[in-house]
Chain A
Amino acid sequence: MAAIAAVELRRFLRDKSNIFFVFVFPLMLILLLGSQFGAGSGQARVAISGPGSALSQALTAELEASGADVTATGADAARTDLSRGRADVGLFLDDADAEAFDAGRPAELDVVVAPESAAQAVLQQVRSAVQAVGLERGQLAALSGAGVPQEHAGTALDQAAEQVAVPTVEIVDANDVEQEFRGLGRFDLGASQQLLLFVFLSSLTGAATLIQARRYGVVGRVMSAPVSSGQVVAGQAMGRFAIAFVQGGFIMVGTALLFGVDWGNLWLSGLVLVLFCAVSAAAAMMIGSVMDNDTAAAGVGVGAGLVLAGLGGCMVPPEFFPETLAAISLATPHRWAYDALADIQRHEVTLADILPQLGVLAGMAAALLVLGAWLLRRSLNRAL
């Protein structure tokens, strides 16, 4: 059984076109999608240019403490980042600003805001940070003026800050959809969508190897060996599963390492992947069993894979679906896996929270495996 699974995986990986479409292409697509749509990730991105100074350090610390992603860069690079949507707000500091800050005088900071509407919220975040830094500086100056040594004044302010419960502000989007995606990394959404799309698609197109095995006459030889037809079917199912899981695992690890995609609780994400691979493997067995032409099977695999992925929210997030389409999408395994991954990535969920999605995926896998095994057994007999 393991020998059959291993040889199926080996044959799949040996095909050079598979290497590109299974491993390289998904990552390219995730990179492309992340680059294009990453601006809406929800995290404030601030570019600070100018000489290294106490002012820039204080602003960076304050902004990062408020959850912003701060980049220290040159003035030209900051403008480029703003124009290309890689930054929401640019803070342009110069020597005069730094000197004024050091001297405790008011400074006029140059701020450039990106045209996106979301950048206004970031501007407000920057304003708050500037005010906080200015306030702290003013407090220090007041204490120093009152005769408190500077080092003691700083310590006193820190202690005071620890004792005072500072009210926090949580920015909530009025738009539910935007709120749903808040906090996601720029590649997180695309990675989970492409993971599901490609694992299912590759499994279906890989069903052609099942047809080839029958055409090559290998099936007859395998069935003449001391293995039962049940073992052959199980081996083929394991082979399909191994192909899907290797690809899915590669995309998860690859996107985490290359693009910093946060898959949340890896045990839960892995469990979703396992069940989704089982569904994919069973679907591949069905196509490989009912069809006799490997080229046609690959075509059907691509078509069915893309349609189901589209319906299941792997092209446009299902959060944007109208009600009817959202209801239809629940017929696809993609949608259930997407929902489970979304919960794991965006919210700190437990196994119990995603049990409904896992249950549906397990049910789909079981039903398709039984049907796929029956069809495969029939096709094996047909090949003899």
Chain B
Amino acid sequence: MDVAEVTAKDVLDVRGLVRRYGDLTAVDGVSFHIRAGETYGLLGPNGAGKTTIISMVAGLIPANEGSVRVAGRDMTPSETEAKRVIGLVPQELAIYPDLTARENLKFFGRLQGLTGKDLTRRTNEVLELIGLSDRAGDLTKKYSGGMKRRLNIGIGLLHRPALLILDEPTVGVDPQSRNSILESVERLSVEGMAVLYTTHYMEEAERLCDRIAIIDEGRFQAEGTRDQLITLTGGVDRINLRGGGSTALAAEALRALPAVQHVDSDGSGLMLTVSDGPTALAGIVTGAGDAGMSVTSVEIVRPDLESVFLHLTGKALRD
């Protein structure tokens, strides 16, 4: 990141962050910034270092090197003022199962400095926001997984933080609750909240994030908007041909076509890397048929973040 990009509107400014555990460097020189109203995604597989970055940003663990500034204040584990402007939604459900939703919200609200009528009002507002008003008096151990997730997020919103940190908030959530969570995040961003969102779901990053950092083995592999990242793949498409007959001969024939960059065979079909797939498709199908392959299905896969990750790291996001 160019330091000159950092503006007064930056809610979060992270520079040269390093975290080591013995010989293992979990986070290696990570820098990024987030402005108000911006949703920033950390996209990477499990173990890539996303949660470690979050832990340093939230002041839970210290960085070995580098700095974190939140709303202009240095963030360290002993810094309480900087923590006032962040709302953390941990990956694990961080709620007391033997308390009700209202009691959970009030407890964490008090920790954030809310008291009296403010606390009651914000508790009610958040219960309404996360759709749990009618179950506010039930012990949370009786909640469904989705309801717990919503409460988990609601606690992070209680004190109207300038920066909301969401660490894989949809893991283990049913599709309906997942969609509800994503809609909530979109709404918060529109309302001006800065959001740091980690996920290993490409679709979530594409839908929510204004800018995305692709992270693997503790390092940022690339950073930018979705479109900027897509261009890193060279704009190539993938075409998958399924069928029988002579796939080996078809592969030979297709490699000769100018639009085809690469051909792989898995026994039941061919996977081609092609520049401008829609234009080249007709020639590819004809060429395969002429070479003796009976094509039964054709699929064009446009480049996405999965492709970008594959292109940058040589492995799939869910590896």
Q: Using a CB–CB distance below 8 Å, which chain A residues touch chain B?
A: 3-4, 7, 10-11, 14-15, 213, 216-218, 220-229, 381, 384
Contacts and interface: CB of A to CB of B under 8 A. Distances in A.
B201 interface: no
A218 B148 CA distance: 13
B96 A384 contact: no
Q: Taking each of A14, A213, A224, which has the highest tally of chain B beta carbons within 10 Å of its own beta carbon?
A: A224
B55 A226 contact: no
B61 A216 contact: no
Q: Taking each of B59, B60, B61, B155, which has the highest tally of chain A beta carbons within 10 Å of its own beta carbon?
A: B60
B307 to A, nearest CB: 34
Q: Taking each of A14, A15, A220, A222, which has the highest tally of chain B beta carbons within 10 Å of its own beta carbon?
A: A220
A228 B96 contact: no
Interface residues of B, number: 30
B95 A225 contact: no
A224 B95 contact: no
Contact of A224 (B58, B97, B103): B58
Contacts of B96: 7, 11, 213, 216, 218
Interface string B61-101: 10000000000000001101101101010101111111100
A213 B61 CA distance: 18
Contacts of B22: none
A376 to B, nearest CB: 15
Contact of B110 (A3, A221, A229, A384): A3
B112 A221 contact: no
Nearest to B107: A7
* B interface, over-half SS: loop
Contacts of B111: 3-4, 222, 225-227
Interface in B253-305: none
Given A224-B58, A226-B112, A228-B80, 15 more contacts: A3-B107, A7-B99, A15-B98, A213-B96, A216-B97, A220-B90, A221-B94, A222-B111, A223-B59, A223-B60, A225-B112, A226-B80, A226-B84, A227-B80, A229-B77
Nearest to B109: A3
Contacts of B103: 7, 10
B94 A220 contact: yes
Interface string B92-126: 11111111000100011011110000000000000
10 contacts: A7-B103, A216-B95, A218-B94, A220-B55, A224-B59, A224-B83, A224-B88, A226-B113, A229-B77, A381-B61
Given A227-B80, A228-B80, A384-B55, A220 B112 contact: no
Interface of B: 55, 58-61, 77-78, 80-81, 83-84, 86, 88, 90, 92-99, 103, 107-108, 110-113, 155
Given A217-B90, A384-B61, A225 B98 contact: no
* A interface, over-half SS: helix
Nearest to A218: B94
Nearest to B78: A228
Q: Taking each of A10, A11, A218, A222, which has the highest tally of chain B beta carbons within 10 Å of its own beta carbon?
A: A218
A225 B90 contact: no
Contacts of A227: 80, 111
A222 B77 CA distance: 12
A15 B98 CA distance: 8
A221 B155 contact: yes
Contacts of A11: 96, 98-99
A217 B99 contact: no
B136 to A, nearest CB: 16
Contact of B94 (A7, A15, A217, A226): A217
Contacts of B86: 224
Contacts of A7: 96, 99, 103, 107
A229 B78 CA distance: 8
B97 to A, nearest CB: 7
A131 to B, nearest CB: 67
Contacts of B94: 216-218, 220-221
Contacts of A381: 61
A35 B317 CA distance: 71
Contacts of B95: 216, 218
A10 B99 contact: yes
B60 A225 contact: no
